[in-house]
Structure 1
Amino acid sequence: MKAGRNKTIDLSVEEGNEYLKKCLMLDKKAELPDVLDKTILGDTFEVLRLLPKESVDLLIVDPPYNLDKDFHGNKFKKTSDEAYLEYTEKWVELVKPLLKADATVYVCCDWISSPSIFMVLKENFHVQNRITWQREKGRGALSNWKNGMEDIWFVTNSAKYTFNVEAVKMRRSVIAPYKVDGKPKDWEETENGNFRNTYPSNFWDDISIPYWSMSENTAHPTQKPEKLLAKLILASSNEGDVILDPFLGSGSTSVTAKKLGRHFIGIEQNVQYCIWAEKRLEMAEEDKTIQGYADGVFWERNTGRLQRKGRKRE
């Protein structure tokens, strides 16, 4: 039995079978309406060949990192840098024809995988930046520094691309407020404290990994937070755009896209993960909140109380 505050998604076999029926399996080339807002069950290296060309505005890729990992029966084995580079080239070759001319691509990776991924991306896209985010979860290391960082490569299909910087501002507490003529300069004075909405950098220290008391949490071993994906989606797409995730996992990209008014296409080979994705998509119809994102800005960690106060005033 779960504790009362444990919101981790847990389904019976019967419930799972019902959600599985909502998933799509492709065996022939598809038009965009056939796959829009769908969870596709299958091998991404086969499914990508069947998707419509030049239909994707934003590609978010969270491939298996180059380390040993068991994804509930689907095991990925650590290999050589050369072999992992070839693996990356394989999926890049398949996704590139699906992108619109002005599309953006984000690729998640760890420090081991990052060099190989970068080598492939720079040959196929315009490299814009590398985001590093603080991943505050996991066991400590006894003979090394604990790995608490991950990378996200930000690349574009051309020199023309979408970047909505005003949509991804960060709300930070003002420690030493500066005033001009007795009035706040570049910050806001509120009953809950002093705040400044700042432009985002490529280092993110405000991300919380999903845990048991968060409604987005599943048992997926490498689940990405909706807050992290919201930053990518808001910055690099507009409402109504099409977002593709070829390694969907438990559905975080699709769910966040739905909450933010975008279309999505997700591909996942693990049946259980597809079931979780469909359950979360159903939950998103009733609850469109994203932990850490409120009032049109992203908040620092441990500010949930302040966010709730703001919503009550509204």
Structure 2
Amino acid sequence: MQDKPRAPRNRTLTLSEQEIAKYRQRLIQLDQPARLSKIINRTIHQDIFQIMDFLPQASVDLLFIDPPYNLNKTFNSNSFKKQDLDAYTRWLDGCLSGLERLLKPTSSIYICCDWQSSVAVFTAIKNRFQVRNRITWEREKGRGASKNWKNASEDIWFCTVSNTYTFNVDAVKLKRKVIAPYRIKGVPKDWEMTATGNYRLTCPSNLWTDLTVPFWSMSENTDHPTQKPEKLLAKIILASSNPGDVVFDPFLGSGTTSVVAKKLGRQFLGVELDELYCCLAEKRLELAETEPGIQGYCQGVFWERNSLNQPVKQP
């Protein structure tokens, strides 16, 4: 809910009491095993550890996990307390052991973490999945430090269940401005000359510097303290799923994974412990029906951050 007046240009999504009452009616809870058809494209308001066994086996094509990092952190009505690294590793392993049965043989898994918990994630996945890569993305927000390097990045481990998996490389190429245009006999080499500048489509790497963490003037922003950018989820969903596939997020937060999956023509399922965040997710899903754009993704291309003449909405 909104506790105090916002600045006129603040576009952060909030909920009125009436909206909470409205969206609360859309949430579901499970007390027995459920078929996928009964829960698909819904938000489950429960603790993922209490309902893992109720979710349908071999039903998920893409699993995106953004768990609480091993930090003291408050998420509205719930808190996570920092543990020693071994205890956090066991916590992650218990989570993955329950989620593993939901995956298809062709599924992909992405797990978010910070630099301190990255080793715990690797320990939990190294003997469970095929570890493909570790993505590092620039999180340009962050507090300065007088006796250390400013922490401005996070990791995402990319895994698969088997050696048969989806990876749509052409769907996630990045459009960059060409600084030194090279020509062969006067013809541009691997770049395009346009009226608004020279650009090149480049293959995606495991270093992502083109993301903007949601902030107050962005329409996707909420008060969730660790909200991921829609553009980040778009990269993962486009690369590692196909239209109609099932994308699952067991720590849904304010709904970014479900929202982006919906915008990109995938099916989705999310579980979130906090009711307010569940309601925010439902509001965002409703808004996605009339506002399908993803900032930084336009005409099937991801644009480099702060590119001049960058479109911000899909046509």
Give the aligned partner of residue 277 of structure 1.
281
Partner Cα distance (2:114, 2:286) in 1: 31
Partner Cα distance (1:303, 1:79) in 2: 41
| RMSD of aligned alpha carbons | 1.2
Stretches of 4+ aligned residues off by more than 3 angstroms: none
Q: Decide which of 35, 44, 49 is 1:40's aligned counterpart.
A: 44
Partner Cα distance (1:152, 1:138) in 2: 18
Partner Cα distance (2:234, 2:162) in 1: 23
Shift of 1:73: 2.2
Q: Which amino acid aligns with 2:38?
A: D
Partner Cα distance (2:32, 2:308) in 1: 47
Give the aligned partner of residue 306 of structure 1.
310
Partner Cα distance (1:62, 1:176) in 2: 38
1:42-81 residue pairs with structure 2 within 5 A? 42-81=46-85
Give the aligned partner of residue 134 of structure 1.
138
Shift of 1:50: 0.5
Give the aligned partner of residue 261 of structure 1.
265
Q: Decide which of 235, 240, 244 is 1:231's aligned counterpart.
A: 235
Q: Which amino acid aligns with 1:87?
A: W
Q: What SS is found at the alignment partner of 2:166?
A: coil
Partner Cα distance (1:169, 1:200) in 2: 5
Give the aligned partner of residue 154 of structure 2.
150
Give the aligned partner of residue 178 of structure 2.
174
1:243 maps onto 2:247 in alignment: yes
Q: Cα deviation per residue 1:3-49 (whole Å; 9 max; x = unaligned)?
A: 33211001111211111111111111100011100000000001221
Q: Cα deviation per residue 1:279-303 (whole Å; 9 max; x = unaligned)?
A: 0000000011001111211111113
Q: What SS is found at the alignment partner of 1:82?
A: helix
1:189 maps onto 2:193 in alignment: yes
Partner Cα distance (1:61, 1:31) in 2: 22
Shift of 1:138: 2.1
1:159 maps onto 2:152 in alignment: no
1:56, 1:100 within 8 Å by CA — same for their partners in 2? yes
Shift of 1:165: 0.2
TM-score, scaled to structure 1:
0.97
Q: Decide which of 109, 112, 126 is 2:113's aligned counterpart.
A: 109
Q: Which amino acid aligns with 1:186?
A: D
Give the aligned partner of residue 87 of structure 1.
91
Task: Provide the identity percentage.
Answer: 56
Partner Cα distance (2:169, 2:121) in 1: 25
Partner Cα distance (1:254, 1:248) in 2: 8
Count of residues in correspondence between the two structures: 311
Q: What SS is found at the alignment partner of 2:146?
A: coil
Q: Which segments of 5 or more consecutive residues in structure 1 lack a partner in the other structure?
A: none
Q: Cα deviation per residue 1:58-94 (whole Å; 9 max; x = unaligned)?
A: 0000000001001112110000111001101111011
Partner Cα distance (1:303, 1:211) in 2: 19
Give the aligned partner of residue 290 of structure 2.
286
Q: What SS is found at the alignment partner of 1:305?
A: coil
| Larger mean Cα displacement after TM superposition, 295-304 or 61-70 | 295-304
Partner Cα distance (2:267, 2:156) in 1: 22
Partner Cα distance (2:287, 2:311) in 1: 21
Q: Cα deviation per residue 1:129-154 (whole Å; 9 max; x = unaligned)?
A: 00000000022122221100100000
Q: Which amino acid aligns with 2:111?
A: V
Q: What SS is found at the alignment partner of 1:152?
A: strand
TM-score, scaled to structure 2:
0.96
1:292, 1:304 within 8 Å by CA — same for their partners in 2? no
Partner Cα distance (2:238, 2:194) in 1: 26
Partner Cα distance (1:264, 1:304) in 2: 34
Shift of 1:304: 6.6
Q: What SS is found at the alignment partner of 2:310?
A: helix
Q: Cα deviation per residue 1:221-255 (whole Å; 9 max; x = unaligned)?
A: 00000000000000000000001100000000000
2:177, 2:307 within 8 Å by CA — same for their partners in 1? no
